[in-house]
Structure 1
């Protein structure tokens, strides 16, 4: 396995040294094994394995006075060879079978008025449940969405966080010197690879990227640092937060260009070359959580000024044919909003409902997305038999084209340490169009999962 051995050795020595000098050290871990199979309505993937992983997750916490050292990493064996790298937080074998993921590794210090956190860290912003509105600080692992958890898919960013603390308020300032991109399904064994990068387009072959190096990453220099601010206040009436971010979009904007072959006419070239470039992004947002009896009302909104949006491959090809300058993205203002509630009618029930809107202003038909999208989500969780069995159901309905995504999960706690799970993921097209979720209808699947924590 080709990995950055020096990085692995550094963090191993870092964790050992911290445990030696610490007043208290805690080791936590888990071993998870899961396999997912395509359902009959998955068409092209019917009966195929879409997921096959064994994951060792280890965490070390070392305490010394007001300081703590925290390290969390994963070692993954993927039977499909579906593991991809982003060159920053995941190191993989050439065939995608093994991967080492450093999720977090930071030093944390907390005083009476100030707190400082230095290193790779994961932060959750906003009040949304499994939906990204203001939660833009951390990139994500986009290489799999089958039986995946929103928070577990987050990747750490190398950052310095300085916090000012009072009794009811907290002000956080982040400096992120190095850009970390999302992990894309670049591995050839990843079932999502052909979904994101089709092998053929408009009758021509597509030469797809194989590693993150095929994308134009931002240079590592001070002027390309990311900055973020968060201010929050918690009272008995409501919890309020304000956010600001200036940095980079976590995924690249794709360009399609013709392969140059001097032996044939330009319009008869039969290969497209795919490349990508990362663009700047800024965001301001706010959220609120208001409790009332056994209900918590949640609100969240974000505004992205002059954000880049991907243009369609067809519009890019038209520009190539007409000899114009290729435009892989267009800049538009975007607004996102959410209203939701959490209801806990009894100790064993949890019900969450949300309504989300997504609007692009000054819309252009060249964009790969719609001008206005809105959807509703619902999740219900119930525990039985002294919490040894937990049933969970969640779903999202695209209110424009009525495509849908849903997940049903049944967990059985065999012992205090071992949990067995059966998970079903279902994706349905709308009556006339694919919509937000219909394009994934080939990935409807059932997953068998076992997890042991220690």
Structure 2
């Protein structure tokens, strides 16, 4: 007897896609990269949405060709060619169901938490593609997480509970052809050779077992006065803490000992976060507030401290645990005439910080972005920037987007990183070699 299989036909299936090509060249102030190609990518992005009653299947993926050979993988989010020129990425793939009071989402998904604009405060669920940090904006660089989300819905509230069984790390620029590779892992440190990791197998990733899962909670209320949310997260920092280990270097041919090299390892640490945000509308203005507290978070120790520990036969530690507080106050203004203006102040403090950490005890910065469409909204001008209020380093971006047709947009983008006074790197000066001008074309269909 043959069993018959019922056919299930989606009520509607939608396909969306885009093709983007861009090339970036180092500006004159990019000392080591002046006139060099810093970006050369063609990206096909495709999305399928299939609806059936209260359910939806959503899949989004990308095919990337990188002329510089700068693509990397984290072993989960992308298949990458050995030479780094080709990547196949699955960004999201989930099943979504929504009832009257309950909703369920299962699969790889990208989540947006918080009210900050292009700044991470409470938005800690999704790791990022750091290998493409100079080619994508904040949201485009997010990687999907494999998660189950159960939501309780009412007219004015929503509570989301997440179970994330498998840890997804950020993608680091491990490919030799990536312009950011030398920034993360320089070839030498004070004339000592550095043996950097070449693949994610070289990192100590959390084991794939139930006890290593991540959990998260978001509760939101929507009122006529303000939108409010509170957050909780128990999981992993998505970038590794680097452990430096000196290694004796021998010359096998002459059996001599010319010196040391440095082996680099990476390990991931647990992280806790509680946070909250608010968005308060007032006419043409929206005031945004956001804060997060990270109890006993791990922070990277510097290489000199690790060498001292090694020389004195002490246990080498890649990190120290300290309490961290992050806060943001922002303002959105949409006056008449099609202007969009956003300003933010961000503060980041490590309580009881030590001098052997790689970061400062307190950093703060201000950001400003202005957007205006003209010529019957065919030309959009966007300017944005950030100023480090401690060392006064800065970054600025000017972007011109011209709609050649409804489907084709041509863009010219300039990114400039500047040191602070007296050559202080600060938050942005260390990226001065990545100042660039980018030519971009995108077709959506």
Q: Does 1:246 align with 2:237?
A: no
State the superposition RMSD in angstroms: 1.5
Structure 1 residue 91 and structure 2 residue 87: aligned? Answer: no
In the alignment, structure 1 segments of 5+ residues that lack a partner are 1-18
> Following the alignment from structure 2 to structure 1, what is the Cα–Cα distance between the partners of residues 257 and 391?
36
1:122 alignment partner, one of 82, 103, 110: 110
Give 3-state SS (helix, strand or coil) of 2:29's partner: helix
Please name the residue that 1:204 is paired with: 192
Aligned with 2:30: secondary structure? Answer: helix
Secondary structure of 1:81's counterpart equals coil
Partners of 2:397 and 2:60 in 1: how far apart?
Answer: 27
Alignment correspondent of 1:9: none
Structure 2 partner of 1:288: 278
Q: Are 1:441 and 2:432 an aligned pair? A: yes
Q: Structure 1 length normalisation: TM-score?
A: 0.94
Following TM superposition, by how much is the alpha carbon of 1:145 offset from its aligned partner in structure 2, in angstroms?
A: 2.6
Contact 2:250 2:257 in 1 (8 A): no
- Given the alignment of the two structures, is residue 397 of structure 1 paired with residue 387 of structure 2, yes or no? yes
Instruction: Return the match for 2:312 from 308, 322, 328.
Output: 322
For 1:100, which of 88, 103, 113 is the aligned residue? Answer: 88
Within 5 Å, which residues of 2 pair with 1:379-398?
Answer: 379-398=369-388
Distance 2:386 2:364 in 1: 10
TM-score scaled by structure 2? 0.96
- Deviation of 1:261 (Å): 4.9
In the alignment, structure 1 residue 430 sits paired with structure 2 residue 420: yes
> 2:133 maps to what in 1?
145
Unpaired segments ≥5 residues, structure 2: 1-6
| In 2: Cα distance, 1:75 partner to 1:91 partner | 10
| 1:173-212 matches, cutoff 5 A | 173-212=161-200
Contact 1:147–1:447 under 8 Å retained in 2: no
State yes or no: 1:415 paired with 2:412: no
Cα–Cα, structure 1 residues 134 and 266, in superposed 2: closer, same or farther, change >3 Å? farther
Q: Are positions 1:231 and 2:224 aligned together?
A: no
* Distance in 1, Cα, partners of 2:34 & 2:359: 28
The reply to whether residue 133 of structure 1 matches residue 137 of structure 2 is no
Is the 8 Å Cα contact of residues 147 and 425 (structure 1) preserved in structure 2? no
CA shift, 1:385, in A, is: 1.1
CA deviation string 1:291-338 (max 9, x = no partner): 001000000000000000001111111111111110110000000000
Give the aligned partner of residue 44 of structure 1.
Answer: 32
Over 3 Å counting, the alpha-carbon distance change for 1:20 and 1:51 in structure 2 is farther
User: Equivalences for 1:328-347 in 2 at 5 Å?
Assistant: 328-347=318-337
1:256 equivalent in alignment to 2:253: no
* CA distance, structure 1, for counterparts of residue 81 and residue 385 of structure 2: 35
Please state how far the C-alpha of 1:267 moved relative to its aligned partner.
9.8
| 1:164 equivalent in structure 2 | 152
For 1:12, the equivalent position in structure 2 comes to none
Matches of 2:356 and 2:257, distance apart in 1: 22
The equivalent residue for 1:306 is 296
Provide the C-alpha distance between the structure 2 equivalents of 1:149 and 1:390, rounded to a whole number of angstroms: 17
- What's the CA shift string for 1:208-259, capped at 9, x where partnerless? 1111111100000000000000000001100000000000000000011012
Matched, 1:357 2:365: no
Deviates most, 147-156 or 77-86: 147-156
Is the CA contact 1:409–1:423 (under 8 Å) kept in the aligned structure 2?
Answer: yes
For residue 4 of structure 2, what is the aligned residue in structure 1? none
Instruction: Using the TM superposition, give the Cα deviation of residue 21 of structure 1 relative to its aligned residue in structure 2, in angstroms.
Output: 2.4
Hey, what's the Cα distance between the residues in 2 that align with 1:202 and 1:262?
A: 19
Q: Is the 8 A contact 1:30 1:58 kept in 2?
A: yes
How many Å separate the matches in 2 of 1:124 and 1:247? 16
8 Å contact kept, 1:140–1:153: yes
Residue 346 of structure 1: CA displacement? 1.7
